Chains A and B, each alone.
Chain A
Amino acid sequence: MFNSIPQKSDPFPGSAPVPEEKLNKFKRGVKGELPPRPQYKLRDVVIRSEAASDLAQKQNARYDLMLPEDAGFLEGDEDEDTCTISQDDIVDAVDITAGAKYFSLTLSQFGPYRLDYSKTGRHLLLGGRRGHVTCLDWQSKQLMCEMNVMETVNDVKWLHSEALFAVAQKKWLYIYDNKGIELHCIRKFNDVLRMQFLPYHFLLATASATGFLQYLDVSVGKEVVAICTKAGRLDVMAHNPHNAIIHLGHSNGTVTLWTPNQREPLVKMLCHQGGVRSVAVDKTGTYMVTSGMDKKLKVYDIRAYRPLQSYFLPAGASCLSLSQRGLLSAATGDIVQVYRDVWGIPVTKPYMAHRAKGSVWGVHFCPFEDVLGVGHGEGFTSMVVPGAGEPNFDGLDANPYRSAKQRQEWEVKALLEKIQPELIGLDPSQLSQVDHSTWEQRHVDRVQVLGFDPLAKEKFTPRLKTKGRSSSGKVEKRKKQVAHEDQRDVIRQTVEDRMKIDKERKEKEKKKAAAAGQKSALDRFRK
């Protein structure tokens, strides 16, 4: 080919390299071996899919968030505990918009209050025990609606958007819109004490005083399932954002995990000696924090169900909440404490502390904001907790700055992408697996129809040999020689590996011993 234009050579040929950690972040599953060449069609498919997933991984890594900096936290001066820094100090130090996030509402009449933030973190819902329900855009302090339902309010919860919320009242469950108009009174859900909303499944899970765990599909308005937990009054509830499993705490110190698909708990964990007072699960679904009547605060790894840390709080914690960045807030009496990294190095002191005016009834971190909402006997306090919220939001998932139009669009899309309740399980990636039992059954059927197993390996038939070498004994011997060849390979491999490791270890020890011995051998002749 003739090319008359002299081209400058690129000093950095190829595309820019992607850092390894980022690649690992987007790694999905393990690469397998390629099928052998004779199965060329399968091989082609596999190669293509591998290339596609490689590309996806690389591109994702390349276009990952561009803000790799660490989240900022409150830092005290030398020998100054951050927990002694009061909210007023912080407000004095920060700019006016951030300072405006510390405020309290004095609502002493109908307290104590429970609260909930909407998914985008813009809207706040307050429910006073004595019937006062109000929702507001807390950043602009714009009141959306305010009413008194003239009944005990047990819990309040936003539904998928800020247009609807559910209120668990004395007898029934009610649904209101953001103007405060009662839309539904759901008579199937009685004596509800706690509620959790699963945003991707459009499910409202409720736990009642009668021991029922019920799921309401808010997109179609149907009860999905009502499970009798047989565990008495259910007033502790949390949900795992990773796999949408409901955690219930019981008075006998156990925490149970539930899906709408099974009538029994998936897992039952004995966490405390006394009753469980509160449960919280972190965003990644890795850690669970529980507090109990025995004044303990425990951290569990709920993938392996192993206790990680156990803390003793002198007054116990009544409410727990985990922020998006992993800060834990625990309310003990009228004090709200915030802890940093409870699952890592054992903490001895809280990160922040704040005294509320009354005894705390509910705490909740605001999504995408460094704000912790505290509902207490005398109203509501919004306190500033630096480093609590996730600074990078996904605009397609939860956009704090979305317009009404965008919200509508998002609603439609979210409804289209709604996940069916059947897909809830401990392992959310289960959908990408083949239904093994059915496949096996089908395979068995196929084998029956065909009369042979198409996937089976060819059976070894020893060759006929003459001169008495094909006597039955000899044949059996030959068969035995090749039997379980694949298993043998595996065993051989493992044995070899073990030998290698052993050898290495021995060598190391030997060297160590030798080194130690040598040193002292010289010492022996020293005078």
Chain B
Amino acid sequence: MDDEDDEELQRALADDIISASEDEGGSDDERKHCKLLEAISSLGGKKRKKLTERSEASIQVSEFTVNAEGEGDKIHLSDLIGTLDKTPSALIKTKKQLKNLQHNQSTLETPLTRKETEKIQREVAFEKTSKEVSRWQSVVLQNQKAEQLVFPLNQEPSGPKRIEQVVAGWKAQTPLEQEIFSLLRMNKQPLHDPVLTPTEEASLRAMSLEEAKIRRAELQKTRVLQSYYEAKAKRGKRIKSKKYHRIQKKVMRKEYLKQFDEMVKTDPAAALEELKKMELSRMKERMSLKHQNSGKWAKSKAIMAKYDDGARKAMQKQLEVNKDLTQKLVIPADEDEEDEEESAETLPDFVNDVEPILDQVNPWMRGKLSTEPMMEESNRLHPPVWPREVGKPGEGRDDQEEDEEQMEETEEESLLRGFEERRKLRQTEDVKVSDDEEAGLSNFTSLFHGLVNHMEPPADQPKAGPGLGQGESPALLEEGLVRVRTLEDVELLSQDISASDTALLTTRDLGTEETDTQSATQQADKKRKKMIDPNEVLTKEAKVIEMPLAPTAVEDVEDKEEQRVIIKEAFAGDDVISDFLKDKRKQEEAGRPKVIDLTLPGWGEWGGLGLQPSRSKRKRFRVKVAPPPPRQDQKLPNIIIAEKRDSSIAAHQVCQLPFPFENPIQFERTIRSPVGRTWNTQNTVQKITAPKVVTQLGAIIEPIAREDLIKDIRQAVTGPSINLESDQGPQKKRRSQQKKKKAS
């Protein structure tokens, strides 16, 4: 009973505390509700044990769940696992750790201040929101970039659709349909024109029975042959006779070379491959010391070599093998050969004549191409034409000198030499062509010219005739025609005559005269560049036009005056030119910036009447202005182009570039083609000047929904883009127009 009383007291206390701590009515109600429940349960007589949840820290721990047995005792954490005594000794370790933990008496950190917690919360919240918002970034960017925005979004174009659209847009929707289609797809059933499945086709394509039989027989045969061959190879491998192997190798080599020769003819690509292999073996050889007479065997042989001929030969053989292998191969690309041939065609023969100087020291180089000087001489005269491949006359001779062993290897060697020779030839050609050819060419051309000149002097002479025929030296000619007047005078005089009816004749004569004199005066012209060349400007060899009808009624008024006018012209001609020149010079002068003279008399020296500032001073204070850009009419003697800028149009021009542009050139390029209807077709104008935003009248424009964003951003946002890139045919255009109509 005491206990119970205590409990009740305590409960009341606890209630008080709770009620004090939380004044909210909600908890009060709860409590009341609990009490009610308790009362009800107590009515039944049997006191049910109640389990209350511990939801928050409170001073009093619920009395029903925990016994207050060892109230005063301290509980160690290690005690809590004491019940697990039966488990092995690993527990002791944990116990220790726990103890240590408890002994560690560092104080807890104080909770963060309100400000700081808020700050952290804000940060976290910001991150979260920015993540949320950044999802829209691409949409915004796309909207900014879009050529045209159509609102409201997700418009279904009204009106009837074309059948293709409807059909193309159809998708399997119901589960049944989906299942069927997945089945069909799994079996690779063709959907469009279901005739045969791929498997059926494959089975059809399979071979017939006879074919299969034949094939099988073939396979069997090859297998048998293979096994035979393998057995043979095994047997051969087991033979210990060195001689046998040597012979075998030689045979193999011969075979191989034959094959290679054939391959060169038939399959150059494969031959190249082989050559590459050779190259590889050469590389390997160069890397290793295998045939360098440095091995154990070679050393022993070296000792023996003094006395034993065979040993010497063996050593030499090895060295030869080395040389053989390290011989550089030139891959005879077919193009090269062709090139050579071409060049042989195009180049003069003396290029080929030149006998390549060969490496006298290198025995490997000494093989083929060296010939007696006699031969060379003859070669130079008659370039010998022999097939490149093998069989040059020098080759056979060399072969005789060579050893028997080498005789056996001739084929391979000859091949190698063939390459080498070709390489050499090419090299020498390159070298010789570069210097010899030029020299030869020049020699030859001079000779040729000499010949030609010798052959046809009479042909040449008349060409030079008009210039030299009159017995004048060119210098004299130049001098005679320096004056400007003469030519014009001649012309004007001719015009005088031409005024009468004989115009035609004289001018024709003039024409020929002019052509003669023009060439002569050209050099003189260079001297006086500044002057207008009337030859060029005014008397540009006028073509005479024949008239079918002669003018009868010459203007009555001018009839008398004509003579006078013509005479006037004759004298006015020069005036016109000189006046014009003067005018031009004046304009040029005006356009030139003036030198500013800033000298002041008397500073640092005597000044006064009759005293000029010193020259050095004047020089120092003269401000030179940068020369203006060259005049537009600089090279047009009969033209004066005003250099003054026309500023009136500036009011209508763009002088400030709109935003993304940085320099005027970029901007000018974008406005280079006009937009208006005068210059473009109707359709183009509509496309080019399409509005940036299109809205439907009366429709509610709602913001973009998040679902749209997730579903398909691009389609939802940009809407129907203006298709400028594709230049459609007329039919398609109509369609797009319709679409546009629907959209707007």
Contact = CB atoms under 8 A, between A and B. Distances in A.
Interface stretch (B109-117, B256-264, B472-480, B660-668): B660-668
Interface stretch (A190-198, A289-297, A472-480): A289-297
A468 interface: no
Interface string B434-454: 000000010011001000000
Interface stretch (B118-126, B599-607, B632-640): B632-640
B642 interface: yes
A53 B673 contact: yes
Contacts, number: 308
B638 A269 contact: yes
A384 B725 CA distance: 48
A334 B551 contact: yes
Contact of A423 (B556, B649, B659, B670): B649
A511 B346 contact: yes
Contacts of A460: none
Interface in B416-445: 441, 444-445
Contacts of B650: 435, 437-438
Nearest to A330: B545
Given A267-B642, A423-B649, A517-B445, A314 B547 contact: yes
11 contacts: A44-B145, A55-B725, A261-B646, A269-B639, A273-B573, A273-B577, A312-B543, A333-B553, A334-B553, A417-B678, A518-B349
Contact of B670 (A45, A83, A270, A349): A45
A315 interface: yes
B628 to A, nearest CB: 15
B662 to A, nearest CB: 6
B623 interface: no
A190 B549 CA distance: 39
Q: How many A residues touch the partner, as a band?
A: 35 or more
B576 A253 contact: yes
Nearest to A57: B673
B652 interface: yes
Interface stretch (A26-34, A138-146, A176-184): A26-34
Interface string B496-522: 001000011001000000000000000
A32 B547 contact: no
A12 to B, nearest CB: 10
Question: Chain B CB within 10 Å — which of A29, A274, A396 has the most?
Answer: A274
A267 B639 contact: yes
A359 B553 contact: yes
B654 A311 contact: no
B642 A2 contact: no
Interface stretch (B74-82, B458-466, B680-688): B680-688
B93 interface: no
A522 interface: yes
A392 interface: no
A420 B652 contact: yes
A422 B688 contact: no
A301 B467 CA distance: 34
Interface of A: 1-6, 15-16, 28-32, 35, 39, 41-42, 44-46, 48-60, 62-63, 81, 83-84, 252-254, 259, 261-262, 264-274, 293-298, 305-307, 309-315, 318, 332-335, 337, 346-350, 353, 355, 358-359, 396, 417, 420, 422-423, 425, 430-439, 442, 455, 511, 513-518, 520-522, 525
A5 B170 CA distance: 12
B737 interface: no
Most B CB contacts (10 A, CB to CB) among A52, A332, A335 go to A52
B548 A513 contact: no
Contact of A455 (B181, B350, B662): B662
Interface in B526-566: 532, 537-556, 565
Contacts of B660: 39, 41-42, 45
Given A310-B540, A518-B348, A52 B168 contact: no
Contact of A2 (B171, B541, B633): B171
B324 interface: no
A348 B545 contact: yes
A178 B205 CA distance: 90
Contacts of A265: 640, 642
A311 B542 contact: yes
B553 A518 contact: no
B543 A270 contact: no
Nearest to A356: B553
B680 A48 contact: no
B346 A515 contact: yes
A59 B339 CA distance: 49
Contacts of A437: 645, 650
Given A28-B673, A59-B680, A266-B642, A518 B724 contact: no
A264 B532 CA distance: 22
Q: Which 6 A-B pairs have the closest CB atoms?
A: A333-B551, A29-B672, A434-B664, A53-B673, A438-B655, A435-B653
Q: Which of the listed residues B441, B444, B670 has the most CB atoms from chain A within 10 Å of its own CB?
A: B670
Interface of B: 145, 147, 164, 167-168, 170-172, 181, 191-193, 346-350, 381, 441, 444-445, 448, 488, 492, 495, 498, 503-504, 507, 532, 537-556, 565, 569, 572-573, 576-577, 579-580, 583, 633, 636, 638-642, 644-646, 648-657, 659-674, 678-681, 683-684, 687-688, 724-729, 732
> For B441, B445, B639, B732, which residue has the most chain A Cβ atoms within 10 angstroms?
B639
Contact of B684 (A56, A262, A306, A435): A56
Nearest to B551: A333
Contacts of A41: 659-660
Given A305-B639, A334-B552, 4 more contacts: A262-B644, A335-B549, A455-B662, A517-B441
Contact of B655 (A272, A307, A435): A435
Contact of A273 (B576, B678, B680): B576
A521 B547 contact: no
A439 B654 CA distance: 8
Contacts of A431: 649, 652-653
A15 B728 contact: yes
A16 B733 CA distance: 13
Given A55-B724, A335-B549, A436-B664, A264 B644 contact: yes
Given A55-B684, A295-B495, A267 B554 contact: no
Nearest to A269: B639
A349 B577 CA distance: 31
A439 B655 contact: yes
Nearest to B170: A2
Contacts of B555: 318, 333, 359
B547 A335 contact: yes
A200 B572 CA distance: 40
B642 A48 contact: no
Nearest to A81: B548
Nearest to B681: A59
A52 B673 contact: yes
B349 A522 contact: yes
Given A253-B576, A517-B441, A52 B672 contact: no
A511 B433 CA distance: 13
Nearest to B503: A314
B211 to A, nearest CB: 35
A433 B664 CA distance: 8
Contacts of B347: 514, 518
A273 B641 contact: no
B432 to A, nearest CB: 14
A518 B164 contact: no
A310 B673 CA distance: 37
Given A15-B729, A39-B660, A305-B639, A53 B548 contact: no
Contacts of A50: 670
Contacts of A51: 724-725
A433 B657 CA distance: 11
Contact of B669 (A31, A259, A270, A436): A31
A270 B537 contact: yes
B683 A59 contact: yes
Contact of A52 (B540, B542, B667, B688): B688
Contacts of B672: 28-29, 53, 432
From B445, B495, B645, B659, name the one whose CB has the most chain A CB atoms within 10 angstroms. B495
